[in-house]
Structure 1
């Protein structure tokens, strides 16, 4: 039982703490409400659990054989996060915003995991910490992915609810615009450590 308690605690902390996923969901909740943001929430939660399975079943070994592929994904992730930051900051904060007239989809949320640096750190860390090689590896990987699938919905969902709550209280156009600027800034800050890591060999 200690294994399960530790795993659940790790999943809760990893899913509930600030990161690109939660910032994305909260901003969507503010700008589009809960109902229209449910697809991207489901995409994030299901997409990350699927990512865990693939990493656990050896997909991570591909990056060990071809490290340049991992670098390409990191660079793509940085560019996409910066694009999202621009999209959020350029939004007027209203539902009729021409810059972001539609909320992100299920597929957007699922694919976002593969360029989300925090998702990679959590996935590889979880596999390393909560699985052992041998006959139980497959079972443990399935338990790990299932646990994150169950835990992530309420943990990430809290951020969606908070964004929707802010929507009711940030009726002022200027206040909502400043919120979007703040979330955009947090997304940019979230990629700075990865940018520094990529630039280390050249400094």
Structure 2
């Protein structure tokens, strides 16, 4: 069980679309609006977990055309979120982002987030610790995963919101938002690169 817990910590805390957008939303819009977004990510991550546990994800993702459509949708949506973060509060940008991504945005991101499927598959399919009772093991894994997921994402949101609250010049705040958005786009580029290697 300790090995599973350690795997959860390392797989969730590493930067991916979920934590990067969480920090970016916190930085661009503050903690309270970001909390709605994190709630959506939480719901979405558990929906992905359910799809992995039931085998639905494996069936759907085994169709190459569906994988391509989901990859394209994921990249487009992540680019949209990166733009919202980059232009948060900006009145000179071609995209003026006045409102933070909400709960539905979080749910949508997780359902098309390749890292969410990879992490959930690795965690639920691997690291057995109760091989004689698969149901109890699965329930325990869901509880452990969420017990780590919640504080990690709230921590990233708090870090972003702390930047938001600092009395920084507008130019410095804009640079932070650009850096957050660029980090998210770098993760998108790495995901695309990894998918072409398959």
TM-score above 0.5, yes or no: yes
Q: Which residue pairs with 1:32 in the alignment?
A: 29
Cα distance change of structure 1 residues 170 and 23 upon mapping to structure 2, 3 Å threshold: farther
* Structure-2 separation of matches of 1:71 and 1:132: 35
- TM normalised by structure 1 equals 0.84
**Aligned residue among 138, 160, 172 for 1:175:** 172
* Structure-1 separation of matches of 2:169 and 2:150: 30
**Aligned residue among 54, 68, 73 for 2:51:** 54
Q: Is the 8 A contact 1:44 1:113 kept in 2?
A: yes
- TM normalised by structure 2 equals 0.86
Q: Which residue pairs with 1:10 in the alignment?
A: 7
RMSD: 2.5
SS of equivalent residue, structure 2 residue 55: helix
State the number of aligned residues. 196
* Structure-2 separation of matches of 1:168 and 1:64: 41
TM-superposed CA distance for 1:196, in Å, is 2.4
**Aligned residue among 182, 191, 196 for 2:188:** 191
Moved more, 144-153 or 130-139: 130-139
Structure 1 unpaired stretches of 5+: none
Structure 2 unpaired stretches of 5+: none
Q: Which residue pairs with 2:84 in the alignment?
A: 87
Cα distance change of structure 1 residues 69 and 170 upon mapping to structure 2, 3 Å threshold: farther
Matched, 1:120 2:113: no
Cα distance change of structure 1 residues 184 and 170 upon mapping to structure 2, 3 Å threshold: farther
